[in-house]
Amino acid sequence: MKKNENSFRYLGRKEFFGSIVYDRYRKLFFPLDHISTIILDFLPRLDLDEIYQAMKKNFSEEKVQKNIESLISIHAINDENMPDVELIKAEIPPEGMLSAPLRLYISITNACNLRCKHCLNTSFETLSGELSFEEIHEIFKEMQSLGIPEISIGGGEPFLRQDFPDIIALAEKMDLNISIATNGLLITEKIAKQLASFDNIKYIALSLEGAKPETHDYIRGKGTFRRVIRALSILKKHSGQHVNLHFTIQKHNFNETEQIFSLSHELPADSLGMKILIPCGNAAINRELILSHEEFIHALKKMHELAITSTKPSFVPLYYPPGSTRILYPHFGCGAANVTCGITALGEMLPCNFLPAEFGGESIRRKSIKEIWRTNPSFKKLRSLKGNPKCLACKYYSFCRGHCRASALYFHGDIEAPDLYCCREEELHFS
């Protein structure tokens, strides 16, 4: 992403563990401890020698030096020994809670041009009272003030909104990076060329549900496989954006895992992403699509084997390659209400779109993102889960924290239960 004039490379905000900074160029987060945060606070008022003197009463010179070198290595301190970090001044919330989400998932319309068998969306029409462009602008402004640097935009199908290019342009102007989830059917050369002009797109996720036309088309509709492949070619020819092939693992396609990896390498996609189908929305109606534990393990073994040798970045469930970072929050639970949340097309801010109504949120038309994030009962409940003996004793707990809570709730009727798709016994994790 090109920096706007007078903007810093990094956006940072203080947290209970120190701070977290976001590299606007590489679109990556870096958690920093208290020592690094104090160093950034001292710069540019003090030079590095003065910082050593100021900090030596509380920290060893070796620790200070190590942290300075780390900040220089990620370019948070530039060649002039000045900070390249805009540190948001905000109230630090209680221990274990982030001051705001790291990323917002926003549905900009409920409308969709497909009727997929597994979709979370059960209604595909434009709803009365969907977020206006002005309301989205207000969301972006609060994201700026809270230090939330990323938005994932979906629908419905986001390209059905005529002002979608204007929304992307607004995000770019406000130094916000976005990712886009699309079925790809509306991608034209004109749209691809428009997308080429934006520097704030992290990636475009194109949905692909099988390695063969008949597999994909069974889920998404006749002829859609061919059109997705065409959309990928158009995007790579005209936009140059990072395109991720997004694959939802389900009963109808789990035996094509190896072929999906092969296809992703044959096609001009930049990466491959895989997720597990959760039985909600249309998938709750079409439960024949839901994998058993054994079927999932079968697919997961193959995914892990292929991810290790893949020449393209491959994001697969429950895979923690060397260098994986531990989760930022200390308690049991998934990312819902801990690092991410969603806003529906009607402006409802939810901890997770996959959780049922009992874990509902509140409207951003009545309350701010900050207030809902910090005070809403559903968000607070998800941060106070105690967990279960199996998860708490697991050696992968610091990476996993129990994994998907929606999955646990739907399969076991208990949001604190182990995820049905846990593979602890099979020892498939890599750390």
Asked whether the beta carbons of 212 and 262 are under 8 A apart, the reply is no
Mean pLDDT of 121-150: 96
pLDDT bin (cut points 50, 70, 90) of residue 7 is confident
Q: In this predicted structure, what is the pLDDT of residue 323?
A: 54
Model confidence over 89-112: pLDDT tens digits? Answer: 878 888 889 999 999 999 999 999
Burial of 218 (0-12, 13-18, 19+ CB in 10 A): middle
Q: CA-CA distance, 256 to 402, in Å (whole number)?
A: 27
* pLDDT computed for residue 259 by the predictor: 96
Using a pLDDT cut of 90, give the percent of the chain over it: 78
Read off the pLDDT of each residue in 36-47 and give the average, rounded to a whole number: 90
pLDDT at 274 over 70: yes
pLDDT in tens, 277-297: 999 999 999 999 999 989 998
Q: What CA–CA distances, in Å, run from 354 to 198, 255, 405, 411? A: 30, 25, 9, 13
C-alpha distances in angstroms, 92 versus 67, 101, 142, 146, 224?
A: 22, 13, 17, 11, 48
| pLDDT of 320 | 62
Q: Edge-to-edge, what's the strand order for the sheet holding 362-363?
A: 314-315, 271-276, 243-249, 201-207, 177-182, 150-154, 103-107, 340-343, 348-350, 362-363
Res 431 pLDDT > 80: no
**Average confidence (pLDDT) over 253-269:** 95
Cβ-based neighbour number of residue 316 at 10 Å: 23
In this prediction the pTM is: 0.93
Among 222, 248, 225, 244, which residue's Cα sits nearest to residue 235? Answer: 244
Inform me whether the pLDDT recorded for 70 exceeds 80. Answer: yes
Identify the three-state secondary structure at position 187.
coil
Q: Is the pLDDT of residue 322 over 70?
A: no
Residue 2 above 70 pLDDT? no
Structure confidence at residue 429 as a pLDDT band (50, 70, 90): very low
Q: What is the pLDDT of residue 90?
A: 79
Q: How confident is the model at residue 260 (pLDDT cuts 50, 70, 90)?
A: very high
Q: Where are the alpha helices (DSSP H) in 242-376?
A: 257-266, 282-285, 293-309, 369-375
pLDDT given at position 352? 96
> What Å distances lie between residue 254 and 215, 247, 259, 282, 289, CA to CA?
10, 10, 10, 18, 10
pLDDT in tens, 203-245: 999 999 999 999 999 999 999 999 999 999 999 999 989 999 9
Mean pLDDT score, 31-53 = 90
Using alpha carbons, list the distances in angstroms from residue 232 to 10, 82, 181, 188, 221: 31, 42, 13, 10, 18
- Distance of alpha carbon 309 from alpha carbon 326, whole angstroms: 23
* Cis upstream peptide for 44 (omega within 30°): yes
Question: What's the pLDDT band for 396 if we cut at 50, 70, 90?
Answer: confident
d(CA 246, CA 271): 9
Please give the pLDDT value at position 321: 58
Q: How confident is the model at residue 430 (pLDDT cuts 50, 70, 90)?
A: very low
Q: Do the beta carbons of residue 192 and residue 215 sit within 8 Å?
A: no
Cα first-last separation, the chain: 31
